[in-house]
């Protein structure tokens, strides 16, 4: 008994020791600042719930509907539930276990009470039989001491995976919001483009009607009437194609939001025009992405889990000590005789891996390789995130400049067509030249709409690249913490 107590005390003293260093988030080199600077905005606007800054009620309702019913988010929630279950299982490791056992048996047997004579033969005096009942029960306890941190590493790994799963949900929400907003902007731009084609058709119908009248009266060539009709039909074809594109965008929004198409179209019909985002100055630096983007934070937590897996694999190569104890009672009844006994036992069990064919070593190697892969993914994703922000800044700057130029060009083409139309009506310009002027005006109007769409979508891309308003303090764990909360 004294030896067992000494073993417990020694185990308590050693429990919590670690055979692997504490995890430290690796430093990753990032540029000191963005190469493209935005300083024209008055101040840095709050990016949390950024879509509300578009001041578009329809967009806000669509985003709310998408978040309430989306399979991608449901998958992320299910992953969190699975990670929590795994953590609960890991937390049970290293805890004392207690089991109860019970048994009952009833049997019939017999013994001979005869006397066997060697010389005179066997003289039997009868054969008696009886019922034997056996009743036993015991409580068995066992506790494996966490001498080298095997269970502690397991808990750390599962906690880190739970953190990563929760961060994946945040990232899914950011991606979903950006996708819904982008499709919504595409739909509004599509409607504007369809309206431009419809205006062109209305204008061409008037031209075709007048040209037909003149050709019928002999004041215009029949070829002009054919040209006017051909140009009209070409615009009608473009309008049909544009409406198909708009309908396909509606289908995409239905899939994202889970709304019935009739309800969605009713919502879309209550607004018009492209939403205008609130501009903001990018005051952050590339290193801030680690606390602004949930996907990068999730990568870091996966890296922490991989590190803990190495510690767990290393600890399994060391001896394990378990304390076991049992207390029980046994009762036997037979032919009127009752026997009772109490039993107990306690003592340590030591397991020392000596030869396993390299299995434990291979598990360490596998865990180290997994960590190297997770680290490479982490570094790669940080570089990709920096690239996304830089490209979004470049694209946004270019789209804003092009929109300004395209607007001036569209106004000039509009004035050119108006002058050409007046000249054609006065007989000073051919119908072919008029249609050429009209085609240039329509093409430029559509180009302007495209640049306006690009500008808004590049803003959305920039919001997403900067984390969509997510912050590390919005979750229970801080990515900036370089060490695990639970020390070995």
Phi, psi of 144 (to 5 degrees): -90, 120
Q: Where are the domains of the chain?
A: 15-94+149-317+359-474
- pTM to 2 decimals? 0.79
Q: List the pLDDT tens digit at each of the 488 positions of the chain.
A: 344 333 433 444 444 566 778 888 888 888 888 887 654 544 444 455 677 777 888 998 999 899 888 898 999 999 999 999 988 888 887 788 888 888 888 887 654 444 444 433 444 444 445 788 888 888 888 887 878 888 889 899 999 999 999 999 999 999 999 999 999 999 999 999 999 999 888 888 888 887 788 777 777 778 878 888 888 898 899 999 999 999 999 999 999 999 999 999 999 988 778 888 777 667 778 888 888 899 999 999 999 999 999 999 998 888 888 888 888 888 887 776 888 888 888 878 888 888 878 888 898 999 999 999 999 999 999 999 999 999 999 998 899 889 999 999 999 989 998 998 899 888 888 888 888 888 888 989 999 999 999 999 998 998 888 888 776 655 543 333 333 333 32
Residue recorded with tokens 């002009």: 224
Quick one: three-class SS letters along 369-408? HHHHHHHHHHHHHHHHHHHHHHHHHHHHHHHHHHHHHHHH
Burial category of 144 from C-beta neighbours within 10 Å (exposed 0-12, middle 13-18, buried 19 and up): buried
Under DSSP, the state recorded for 45 is -
Strand, coil or helix: what is 55? Answer: coil
How open is the CA angle 394-396-402, to the nearest 5 degrees? 100
HEC letters along 303-317 = HHHHHHHHHHHHHCC
Positive or negative: CA dihedral 478, 157, 380, 399 = negative
Pairwise CA distance, residues 18 & 245, whole Å: 61
Distances, alpha carbon 401 to alpha carbons 255, 405, 406, 451, in Å: 34, 6, 9, 9
CA distances from 96 to 91, 93, 146, 350 (A): 12, 9, 11, 16
What are the beta bridge partners of residue 108?
131
**Looking at the domain that runs over 15-94+149-317+359-474, which CATH code has it been given?**
1.20.1600.10
Nearest alpha-carbon partner for 61 in 270, 243, 250: 270
Report in angstroms the alpha-carbon separations of 310 from 94, 156, 483. 18, 11, 16
Count CB atoms within 10 A of the CB of residue 429. 16
Owner of token pair 């640049």: 451
Give the pairing type, strands 320-334 and 337-351: antiparallel
| Burial group, residue 3, by CB count within 10 angstroms (0-12, 13-18, 19+) | exposed
Angle at 61 between CA 56 and CA 62, to 5 degrees: 100
Question: CA 264 to CA 268: how far, in whole Å?
Answer: 6
Residue 458's CB is within 10 A of a number of other CB atoms, namely 21
Q: What span, in angstroms and rounded, lies between the C-alpha atoms of 390 and 398? A: 12
């Amino acid at each position: 008994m004294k030896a067992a107590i000494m073993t417990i005390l020694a185990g308590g003293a050693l429990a919590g020791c670690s055979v692997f260093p504490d995890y430290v988030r690796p430093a990753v080199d990032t540029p000191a600042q963005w190469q493209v600077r935005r300083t024209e905005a008055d101040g840095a606007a709050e990016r949390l719930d950024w879509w509300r800054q578009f001041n578009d009620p329809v967009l806000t309702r669509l985003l709310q509907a998408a978040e309430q019913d989306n399979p991608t988010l449901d998958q992320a929630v299910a992953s969190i539930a699975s990670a929590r279950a795994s953590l609960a299982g890991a937390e049970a490791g290293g805890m004392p276990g207690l089991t109860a056992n019970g048994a009952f048996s009833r049997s019939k047997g017999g013994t001979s009470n005869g006397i066997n004579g060697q010389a005179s033969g066997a003289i039997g005096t009868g054969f008696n039989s009886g019922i034997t009942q056996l009743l036993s029960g015991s409580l068995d306890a066992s506790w494996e001491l966490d001498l080298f941190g095997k269970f502690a590493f397991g808990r750390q790994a599962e906690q880190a995976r739970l953190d990563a799963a929760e961060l994946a949900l945040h990232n899914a929400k950011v991606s979903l919001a950006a996708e819904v907003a982008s499709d919504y902007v595409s739909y509004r731009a599509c409607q504007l483009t369809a309206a431009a084609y419809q205006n062109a058709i209305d204008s061409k119908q008037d031209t075709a009607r007048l040209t037909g009248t003149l050709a019928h009266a002999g004041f215009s060539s029949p070829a002009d009437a054919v040209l006017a009709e051909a140009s009209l039909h070409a615009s009608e074809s473009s309008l049909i194609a544009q409406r198909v594109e708009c309908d396909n965008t509606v289908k995409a929004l239905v899939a994202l939001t889970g709304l019935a198409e009739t309800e969605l179209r009713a919502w879309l019909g209550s607004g018009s025009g492209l939403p205008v985002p609130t501009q903001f100055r990018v005051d952050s630096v590339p290193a801030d992405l680690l606390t602004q983007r949930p996907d990068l934070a999730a990568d870091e937590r996966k890296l922490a889990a991989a590190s803990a897996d190495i510690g767990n694999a290393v600890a399994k190569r060391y001896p394990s000590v378990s304390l076991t104890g049992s207390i029980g009672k046994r009762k036997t009844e037979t032919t009127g005789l009752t026997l009772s006994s109490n039993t107990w036992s306690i003592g340590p069990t030591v397991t020392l891996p000596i030869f396993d064919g390299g299995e434990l070593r291979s598990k360490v190697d596998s865990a180290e390789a997994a960590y190297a892969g997770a680290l490479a993914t982490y570094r790669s994703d940080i570089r990709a995130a920096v690239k996304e922000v830089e490209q979004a800044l470049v694209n946004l700057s270019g789209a804003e400049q092009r929109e300004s130029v395209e607007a001036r060009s569209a106004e000039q083409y509009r004035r050119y067509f108006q002058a050409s139309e007046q000249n054609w009506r006065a007989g000073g310009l051919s119908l072919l030249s008029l249609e050429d002027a009209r085609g240039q005006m329509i093409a430029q109007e559509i180009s302007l709409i495209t640049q306006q769409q690009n500008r808004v979508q590049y803003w959305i891309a920039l919001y997403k690249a900067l984390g969509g308003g997510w912050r590390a303090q919005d979750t229970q764990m801080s990515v900036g913490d370089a060490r695990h909360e639970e020390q070995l």
